Amino acid sequence: MRKKILVRGPCLTRSGYGEHARFVLRSLKTREDIFDIYIIPVNWGQTGWTAEDNEERKWLDKRIKATAIYIQQKGQFDISIQVTIPNEWEQLAPVNIGVTAGIETTKVAPVWLEKANMMDKIITISEHSKSGFTNTTYQGQNTQTGAPMTLSCSTPVEVVHYPVKAYETLPELELNLDFDFNFLAVAQQGPRKNLENTIKWFVEENIDQKVGLIVKTFIKNGSIVDREHTEKMLSSLLSKYPERKCKVYLLHGDLTDAEMHSLYMHPQIKAMVSLTHGEGYGLPLFEAAYSALPIIAPGWSGQCDFLYAPFQESKKKKGGNKNHPYFAEVDYNINTVSPSAVWEGVIMGDSQWCYPEEGSYKMRLRQVRKQHSKWKKKALTLQKWILENFKEESMYEKFVENIVNKEEKVTDVNAWLKELESDIVESS
């Protein structure tokens, strides 16, 4: 008998969590022989909703309608999977699994630990995100007895990465660029992405160079008003450099997954740049990496799971590192997050993240521009490793295995669920 599994998440939005939710659903869909899938879509901030008309969207719409009818009929679920930040996790079924990109800083909020301990398992996207749960503890007192208490994560935390995507055909993008050598930045505006410095330091380094920077960004959404605000921000920043030869282009609005891949593959785009303070995973960096685009970024947080790859020569050296950076590493310091980034119940004021160094970033821009063939070779090596180790089928299988139990075969799902449900009853 198939288990009724409810997925609640922003599966129809153009957001990182939206893509995360769709990955979860694609994974479950590979095993419709054991899962009867139900979906509750939710908003994600002010990000727009997808407008793609394809087979996946038709399937999503069908399952969403079926879910609404089932809930109206007072139907119950065997498992819930909730794809969101932990603040929103609830016990919706006998078995509850929280799926999250985690936190970009060094620690999670107390409420995240409290919510985590309500779940039966947590699945996150990177080793950095996992460490936020497993390495955070808070000391306190029992309000009634005064006895000391420690708050930590007692729920198992597993890591399942995003997979690469394959495209049979790609649309052509008309970018109207002035130069043949251009860098690319993909980031929503806000404190964490550090976009202002990404642009400012690029212009300062390349003020006399015929190179460009394409900035794929928005403030809140893809609306006309948002575009106008974004253009004003960019114009204000660039007005300080009236004599510059380099160009900065704004690419605003939504692009489909295939269009984004075309962007990474565009012959006039030579490298990706990011001065992010921290990533749960860094999906644009991942997509650029498996597109063989050279990358300039700090070696800290979620992107480390795919920007470093085994280095064969290190095995010959006693004590050599197993992993090698196949990207242009930007030096950084670890310090307290900026006050503008503090988000009550999410980003703690005393947590830390990385601050990329200006001089190191400018040096890497110069090196990649002058020695592009060297960095392209590294990017091709990294691409090969990612394509071999982040395959769709492998990641889907790994996710499903984590739903049923990583120690047991998928075919034993019914037995595992009965055992887990009995444990929950006994402990309640």
Return all residues near 242 (Cβ < 8 A) that are at least 6 apart: none
Weakest-pLDDT range from 13-17, 278-282, 344-348:
13-17
Task: Please state the pTM of the whole predicted model.
Answer: 0.89
Greater pLDDT, 224 or 201: 201
Phi, psi of 347 (to 5 degrees): -100, 115
Nearest CA among 157, 89, 91, 154 for reference residue 122:
157
- The yes or no reply on domain 3-162+391-427 and CATH 3.40.50 is yes
Q: Is residue 273 within 8 Å of 198, Cβ to Cβ?
A: yes
Retrieve residue 234's tokens. 């960019």
Is the backbone of residue 282 left (phi > 0), alpha (psi -120 to 50) or beta?
left
pLDDT at 405: 64
Task: Write out pLDDT tens, residues 382-392.
Answer: 999 999 999 99
pLDDT at 406: 34
Q: Is residue 259 within 8 Å of 172, Cβ to Cβ?
A: no
Residue 261's SS3 state is: helix
Instruction: Provide the 8-state DSSP code for 147.
Output: -
pLDDT at 312: 58
Return all residues near 277 (Cβ < 8 A) that are at least 6 apart: 104, 191, 192, 193, 194, 337, 341, 353, 354, 355, 356
Task: Write out pLDDT tens, residues 163-172.
Answer: 999 888 899 8
**CATH H-level superfamily of 182-389:** Glycogen Phosphorylase B; (3.40.50.2000)
When pLDDT is cut at 50, 70 and 90, the band that residue 31 belongs to is very high
